[in-house]
């Protein structure tokens, strides 16, 4: 109904139905970007893309630069391109096996291409060296792998460790709630969702913007579990 009203208003303003449709699409996209936090992440994504290109040039010039290859692999993993990240992280880990973060990202890249046997031991090894590595992010990545395979029970301990280290993470608590729900524990799921909503409410402004989409997901699931009650 709102979009029909907006279309009518824009048609009246522009006098052109095609321009009105375009305006409605732009407004809708902007609204989604604001609600999901995508607009907040866009500058970071653009900066990451530029840095990836610079590092690719550096690696072509000096393939033995372990730092550049590790940084390039990390950014490619964060950009959702684990297959491209693998050769860089493997080369970096071979030269600097003592760097826990490189081991973690190599493990994450292997998990990203579906290699549990090759990825999980590396992530666990990195965590054994530094249990607080990246505020517990490796636990979240292990949990993501299991959740994607429908193995919520295996994801649970990793999500519990992550949320213990990163209490303000709405994403972590939402995923923990989904895991509890998938294992038949709706009461625990509701409690964790209450914590997720409270964590978002008390977070700094920049953090609330970054995790707005997770807050919306947590709020929707919380509402559904309460049977539509407020």
Percent of the chain with pLDDT over 70: 80
pLDDT in tens, 175-217: 999 999 999 999 999 999 999 999 999 999 888 888 999 999 9
Average pLDDT, the chain: 86
Q: Which residues lie below 8 Å from residue 68, measured CB to CB, with a gap of 6+?
A: 55, 58, 59, 62
pLDDT category at 228 given cuts 50, 70, 90 is low
Average pLDDT over residues 50-65: 96
pLDDT of residue 137: 94
Task: Tell me what pLDDT residue 115 has.
Answer: 93
3-state secondary structure 33-49: HHHHCHHHHHHHHHHHH
Model pTM score: 0.77
All structural domains of the chain: 44-130 (1.25.40.10), 138-230 (1.25.40.10)
Torsion of CA 158, 161, 164, 169, to 10 degrees: -30
Higher pLDDT, 102 or 205: 102
- Residue 224 banded pLDDT, cuts 50, 70, 90: very high
Return the higher-pLDDT residue of 45 and 79: 79
Of 21-25, 39-43, 135-139, least confident by mean pLDDT is 21-25
- Per-residue pLDDT, averaged over 91-108, amounts to 96
pLDDT surpassing 60 at residue 34: no
Task: Provide mean pLDDT across the span 120-140.
Answer: 94
Structure tokens at 159: 């999500």
Convert the pLDDT of each residue in 44-54 to its tens digit: 778 999 999 99
Residue 5 pLDDT:
47
Contact 84, 75 (CB under 8 A): no
């Amino acid at each position: 109904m709102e979009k029909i009203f907006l279309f009518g208003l824009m048609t009246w303003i522009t006098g052109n139905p095609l321009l009105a449709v375009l305006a409605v699409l732009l407004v809708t996209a902007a609204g989604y970007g604001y609600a999901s936090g995508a607009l907040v992440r866009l500058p970071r994504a653009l900066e990451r893309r530029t840095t990836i290109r610079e590092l690719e040039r550096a690696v072509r010039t000096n393939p033995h630069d372990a730092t550049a290859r590790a940084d390039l692999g990390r950014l490619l993993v964060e950009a959702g391109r684990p297959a491209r990240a693998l050769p860089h992280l493997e080369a970096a880990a071979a030269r600097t096996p003592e760097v826990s973060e490189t081991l973690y990202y190599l493990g994450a890249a292997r998990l990203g291409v579906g290699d549990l046997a090759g990825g999980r031991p590396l992530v666990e090894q990195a965590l054994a060296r530094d249990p607080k590595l990246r505020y517990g992010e490796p636990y979240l990545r292990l949990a993501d792998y299991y959740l994607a395979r429908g193995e919520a029970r295996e994801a649970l301990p990793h999500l519990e460790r992550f949320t213990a280290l990163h209490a303000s993470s709405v994403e972590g608590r939402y995923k923990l709630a989904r895991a509890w729900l998938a294992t038949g524990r709706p009461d625990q799921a509701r409690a964790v969702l209450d914590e997720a909503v409270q964590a978002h409410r008390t977070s700094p402004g920049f953090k609330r913007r970054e995790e707005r989409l997770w807050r919306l997901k947590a709020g929707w699931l919380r509402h559904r579990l309460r049977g539509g009650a407020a």
